[in-house]
Amino acid sequence: MKNDTLFLPGFHLSTLRRKPRSGAQKLADEKRRIRQHTISQLGDCFGAFIPIHELGSEMEGDFSRRRIFSKENTFWAFFTQVLDADGGCQEVVRKVQAFAAVRAMPLPSASTSAYCQARSKLSGDGLKRILKHTSERLQQRGRLGRWKSRRVVVVDGMGVSMPDTPDNQKAWPQPGSQKPGCGFPQARICACFCLQTGALLSYRVSSIKNGELTLLRQQWEEFKPGDIMMGDKGFCSYYDVWKLQEMGVDTVTTLARRTPVAATTATKVLGPDDLLITWPKPVWNKNLSYSHEEWRALPEHLTLRQIKVTITVPGMRSESFYLVTTLTDASRYAASELADLYFQRWDVELFFRDIKTTLSMDVLRCRSPEMVEKEILMHFIAYNAIRLLILEAAVEIGQGPRRLSFKGSVQALRQWEPQFSQASGSQEQRRLLGALRSSIAGHLVPHRPGRREPRCLKRRPKPFALLTASRRQMVEIPHRGRYHAKAA
């Protein structure tokens, strides 16, 4: 169409007319504008791994209004607090201030009060749903590496401590051997992990008065028919082996509280140090952890398999141990394969070390039982998120996920996080995510079978005096550092 006006006759109207913007383009611009006012860029690493609908604003009540500490911002701030080396609330606030300064927004207060109040409003049930979603997604992506096409669930427990507040002491009392004011509240956590992917599937928290076996029984609904439960001798129980077998779950544990069955009294000899045995029903007594009605429902005998494993690796504490399992088919499950499988049970100790040491969950920071529960949940969510990055990086290089360093992955994510906030578009984000996976895949853990690492420290902390009384009553030893060696 030719321009017939006197002004600028050489221009055509088609070149001056702006093409109308579609609804999708307007929506993308609005999303981009909102994203510039959030601190959730770390979510770009995980995409659908963290369900976005759980982080949306509420229609009314908490998180219903748009604030700097919205539900999404608070979740990711809590997430980064778990990943940070310092782990303090003040560092999170400083990060939010830096974010606001870069985008020319009003600088928030340096006080941690607003962040702590917003963090306390996060729903514990919502965090549990997020954790369950992460474990399910990890299970879907890790199906190919299963042991004989079966999922192996390894179970163990750990202890954590927290600030010494009256509420924490009431929920998780300190050991009775410690004087009041000299110890810390302690909780016991029993968790189930997928052996192949390292994903945390479920957990329960209780005081140290409850045993790990009791906490495992509260997680039976997490097991599926065809699973294999593997644990140490603390989980060797007639009642639990039978209950899991009724659910279609097989068991592999070490023998405890029973004398090994000799080959002369075994039902059948399946091979060298491999016996098919029969366990009689335990005698009823009031010290059993289940009721008399449950005891009466137990079968009179259980047919199991007993395998004696001899350790030839130098430096191990035991020379041999006995495996007890419900996998009685010797043709499908060879004794040597079961022994190798149980040796992998040590990985659960490394899983706990990744959570307690690398993510600094050994000593919790929150001062109320409700926030302690949320802090534990957030640590487990962050742990599963790191496991996802490790699994994706391992698939790209054709290695097992256990060959990649968890600590190296955390260090890489800490350094990549600021770069995600500066990405200009989705293509740049995908490029950064690919570079992050390549960095994680480049740190392979050497395969060193039989390597012995004693739990000893060469550089010990400063020799401060132990607190043996409350601080008001404690009197520090004068000149405690002025000691001289005796003359020869």
What is the 3-state composition of the chain as percent helix, strand, coil, each rounded to the nearest 5?
Answer: 40, 15, 45
How many CB atoms are located within 10 Å of the residue 242 CB? Answer: 18
Q: Are residues 303 and 261 in contact, defined by beta-carbon separation less than 8 angstroms? A: no
H/E segment holding residue 132? helix 124-141
Sheet holding 200-207, edge to edge: 200-207, 186-194, 152-161, 228-230, 250-254, 320-325, 301-310, 274-280, 268-271
Task: Report helix angle 369-397 to 71-83, nearest 10.
Answer: 70
Helix segments in 172-291, DSSP class H: 212-217, 238-246
* Bigger pLDDT: 19 vs 107: 107
Between CA 312 and CA 293 the distance in angstroms is 45
Beta strands in 272-421 (DSSP E): 274-280, 301-310, 320-325
Residue 123 has pLDDT above 90, yes or no: yes
103 residue type, one letter: R
414 residue type, one letter: R
Q: What residues form DSSP beta bridges with 158?
A: 189
First to last CA, the chain: 110
Give the single-character DSSP code of 224. Answer: -
3-state secondary structure of 22: coil
Between CA 106 and CA 300 the distance in angstroms is 73
The torsion angles phi and psi of 440, rounded to 5 degrees, stand at: -65, -40
Write out the two tokens for 355.
């959570």
Average pLDDT over residues 189-205: 96
**Mean pLDDT in the chain?**
86
pTM confidence score: 0.87
pLDDT tens-digit series, residues 28-39 = 654 554 444 456
Question: Would strands 152-161 and 228-230 be described as parallel, antiparallel, or unpaired?
Answer: parallel
Q: Which residue has the tokens 């928030």?
A: 108
* Bigger pLDDT: 424 vs 456: 456
pLDDT for res 457: 78
pLDDT for res 98: 82
Q: Are residues 467 and 164 in contact, defined by beta-carbon separation less than 8 angstroms? A: no
Report the candidate in 213, 203, 267, 268 with the shortest Cα–Cα distance to residue 243: 213
Between CA 55 and CA 63 the distance in angstroms is 10
Indicate if the alpha-carbon torsion angle 333, 335, 337, 338 is positive or negative: positive
- Torsion angle defined by CA atoms of residues 389, 219, 231 and 198, in that order, rounded to the nearest 10 degrees: 0
* Bigger pLDDT: 100 vs 437: 437
Between CA 68 and CA 127 the distance in angstroms is 20
Question: Would strands 228-230 and 200-207 be described as parallel, antiparallel, or unpaired?
Answer: unpaired
pLDDT tens-digit series, residues 145-194 = 799 999 999 999 999 999 999 999 999 999 888 888 888 999 999 999 99
pLDDT tens-digit series, residues 300-350 = 999 999 999 998 766 666 678 999 999 999 999 999 999 999 999 999 999
pLDDT tens-digit series, residues 14-70 = 555 566 777 666 656 545 544 444 566 677 678 778 888 888 888 778 888 777 888
Between CA 194 and CA 347 the distance in angstroms is 10
H/E segment holding residue 396? helix 369-397
Report the candidate in 122, 154, 128 with the shortest Cα–Cα distance to residue 342: 154
Report the candidate in 250, 268, 258, 205 with the shortest Cα–Cα distance to residue 233: 258
Between CA 374 and CA 130 the distance in angstroms is 12
3-state secondary structure of 201: strand
Give the single-character DSSP code of 404. Answer: B
